Structure 1
Amino acid sequence: MKSIGGWVAVLFALLLSACNQDAGNSFIGTWTKVSGQGSGLVIERNGSNFIVNFQNSSFGKVAGYMKGDLLHVDLPMTSADLTIDKKTGHLIVPGEELVRAGN
């Protein structure tokens, strides 16, 4: 009976890990500016985390990770939470709004 409980725990942990990775998939891609001060960015998966490349910016490439439904990035001297507007599908970054390239 103990071995069944162990397998259930392992399967549960794997399921949680898979769900967490799926949560960030909607952020992956190339985003272009709709409004605001930025110029665009590219988000790629890097294992269980992300690489956010702020194009034409002094930030360059920074690491990001999921924090609930938000993609959190640590920038020099600050941090930012990125979210996707469920109504428009636009990526909201503090100070700017972006749309997925090709849309």
Structure 2
Amino acid sequence: MIKKTIIGVFTLILISCSSDNSDFIGIWINKKNENEKLIIEKNGENYIVSNGEKKYPAQVKEGLLEISADLPLKATIYDKNNLIINGIEYLRFKKPKEYIIIKSKDTKAQEKFGKIFFKSLKSNDFEEFKNYFPEPPIDFYYNGEIKVSLTEKNISQIILGMEYSFREISNIVISQNLEIDEIKVDNSSYKQSDIALIVKNKKYIINFKECLEYEKKFFPEKISFKEIN
């Protein structure tokens, strides 16, 4: 164990000498174990590192991200998409390719899903939100022809991207005590079905972009949050 730690620290020093360590924010997947992920978020002038249910404060010192875990850890980045923490390598999560989206006609079901989503935001509970997703594999049809077939791996990749957006939006919703004022559903094109949540102060809008529907369950590929002019 001591030998591994020494090798890890030596590797860290070598890489940190020639790398750009400015962009730690994002989702990182363990190169040797896809089930392990880290989420690094900004927290004021410093950072929060999430590993499952555990969260650790962190700060950048001399180009290294110092994580205050049970044992102090240091992280560095090389090639912008590779994160090294004490000799363990993580890869930056990249969004999958976009899919063709199938038109949904069930406005009431979409509105219900929007309310469930907002409730999850208010409690910062992404696991509750995930319970309302359909189970893979899922085939989506348009005019009797398969347009999208999502495997478990496809869905896992999309959920990773959504979780990061969810956390950012949830922090704003909770800190400003936002509430829903109106839900708008747009089914104008079979290529996308959007659900927009407008909050009571009319300043912000939360969008599910390109939202798939399958057996009354929904699977949004994108979540956005913006201020209304």
Query: Could you say whether these structures have the same fold, taking a TM-score greater than 0.5 normalized by the shorter chain as the test?
Result: yes
Question: Residue 82 of structure 2 aligns with which residue?
Answer: 90
Q: Percent identity?
A: 31
Aligned match of 1:69 in 63, 80, 92? 63
Matches within 5 A, 1:4-83: 25-35=22-32, 39-55=36-52, 60-76=54-70, 78-83=71-76
Q: 1:41 to 1:63 in 2, by over 3 A?
A: same
Greater radius of gyration (CA): 2
Question: Residue 102 of structure 1 aligns with which residue?
Answer: 94
Shift in Å, 1:53: 0.3
Return the TM-score normalized by structure 1: 0.63
| TM-align CA RMSD | 2.4
Return the TM-score normalized by structure 2: 0.30
Q: 1:63 to 1:53 in 2, by over 3 A?
A: same
> Per the alignment, in what secondary structure is the counterpart of residue 27 of structure 1?
coil
**Dislocated runs of 4+, deviation >4 Å:** none
Mapped contact 2:22–2:63 kept (Cα < 8 A):
no
2:81 & 2:94 partners in 1: Cα distance? 13
Higher RCO, 1 or 2 (CA under 8 Å, sep at least 6)?
Answer: 1
Name structure 1 gaps, 5 residues minimum: 1-22
